[in-house]
């Protein structure tokens, strides 16, 4: 996996590398008309959780997409009148999956191994209105590895805009595994599913910004900077029942909950979020979440690093940066 990401400013997209697509395609394919997005394309079991709404190709390495952020999502509720930070990460994730399946030759049923997810938002453009927020997404594909006409790995750089104004910039890097390769990687864990054992007690929801105990992803330990990961059964907003491991978006949300608890009562509302994924978080053992403050690269900001580990092995490292509420 790549090195830990420390996010302290706007992520700058890199110049695209030349992609090698099927030679039957022309060098400048005609733009695709906007078409509905299927749940399978974004790996979401619920239609209400589909954020990306359409896409079209601009050239071999550039695409334009549209998306909508709900103003009243049951789980990713607005914070202080602004859209939830995780919506940006989920939008980047869905956009990459959609393009992989529809434009880059990845068959449904293949598995995506997320290496990193990094983004910076512009809070002044994240205000929640009385209805869904319409967005456009400019995507540049780079570092693409193609195998038998399908993407085997690559990077997606994205700029998200609302009414022409930049809302967020970021990127994700992924590796794609066929079902056969994934079976070899996962072995016996391929059929692992969450057990219905009693959940450990949650941290009080008010500390994590959660609506209810079922939305809290952390359980307290004997240390104020350490928690155990807890995921309520049937948590459809962040968990797909078919997953043989804890999804990456669950880990991201657990990281922001941990950062919020650590910095309480300062009202930590991060605008930048970077995560490096090291290995899968498994269902059959405790996942320890730890948080600590680290020096910020920018003045008047607070930065928290959150790590997850399981069985003594690192699972992920997240770095979250927020404006200091005292300035």
Q: Please report the pLDDT score of residue 184 as a whole number.
A: 95
Just give the CATH number of 39-184.
3.10.129.10
Domains 39-184 and 192-323 share a fold: yes
Name the residue with higher pLDDT: 7 or 70. 70
Inform me whether the pLDDT recorded for 132 exceeds 50: yes
Q: How far apart are CA 76 and CA 122, in angstroms?
A: 18
Q: What is the mean pLDDT of residues 16-35?
A: 40
Domain definitions of the chain by residue range: 39-184, 192-323
Inform me whether the pLDDT recorded for 300 exceeds 80: yes
pLDDT (tens digit per residue) in 88-118: 999 999 999 999 999 999 999 999 999 999 9
Confidence of residue 7 (pLDDT cuts 50, 70, 90): very low
Hey, how many other C-beta atoms are within 10 angstroms of the C-beta on 286? 15
Contact 96, 167 (CB under 8 A): no
Which residues are bridge partners to 227 per DSSP?
220, 289
Share of the chain above pLDDT 70, in %: 84
CATH architecture under which domain 192-323 falls = Roll (3.10)
Q: How far apart are CA 263 and CA 78, in angstroms?
A: 19
Q: Please report the pLDDT score of residue 3 as a whole number.
A: 27
Q: What is the mean pLDDT of residues 27-52?
A: 75
Which of 4-18, 75-89, 128-142 is modeled with the greatest confidence? 128-142
């Amino acid at each position: 996996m790549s090195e830990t990401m420390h996010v302290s400013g706007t992520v700058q997209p890199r110049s695209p590398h030349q992609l090698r697509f099927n030679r039957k395609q022309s060098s400048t394919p005609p733009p695709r008309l906007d078409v509905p997005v299927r749940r399978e394309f974004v790996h979401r079991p619920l239609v209400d959780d589909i954020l990306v709404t359409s896409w079209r190709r601009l050239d071999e390495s550039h695409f334009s997409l549209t998306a909508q952020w709900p103003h009243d999502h049951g789980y990713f509720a607005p914070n202080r009148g602004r859209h939830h930070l995780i919506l940006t990460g989920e939008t980047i994730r869905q956009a990459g999956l959609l393009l992989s399946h529809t434009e880059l030759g990845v068959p449904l049923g293949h598995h995506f191994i997320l290496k990193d997810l990094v983004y910076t938002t512009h809070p002044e453009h994240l205000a929640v209105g009385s209805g869904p927020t319409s967005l456009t997404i400019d995507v540049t594909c780079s570092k693409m590895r193609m195998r038998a006409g399908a993407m085997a790995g690559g990077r997606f750089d994205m700029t998200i805009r609302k009414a022409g104004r930049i809302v967020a910039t970021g990127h994700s890097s992924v590796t794609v595994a066929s079902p056969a390769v994934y079976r070899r990687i996962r072995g016996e864990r391929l059929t692992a599913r969450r057990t219905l054992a009693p959940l450990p007690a949650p941290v009080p929801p008010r500390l994590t910004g959660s609506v209810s105990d079922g939305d809290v992803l952390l359980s307290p330990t004997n240390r104020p900077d350490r928690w155990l990961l807890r995921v309520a059964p049937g948590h459809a907003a962040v968990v797909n029942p078919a997953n043989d491991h804890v999804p990456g978006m669950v880990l991201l949300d657990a990281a922001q909950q941990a950062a919020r608890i650590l910095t309480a009562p300062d009202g930590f509302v991060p605008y930048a979020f970077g995560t490096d994924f090291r290995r899968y978080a498994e269902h059959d053992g405790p996942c320890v979440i730890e948080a600590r403050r680290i020096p910020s690269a920018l003045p008047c900001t607070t930065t928290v690093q959150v790590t997850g580990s399981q069985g003594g092995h690192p699972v992920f490292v997240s770095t979250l940066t927020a404006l200091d509420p005292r300035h």
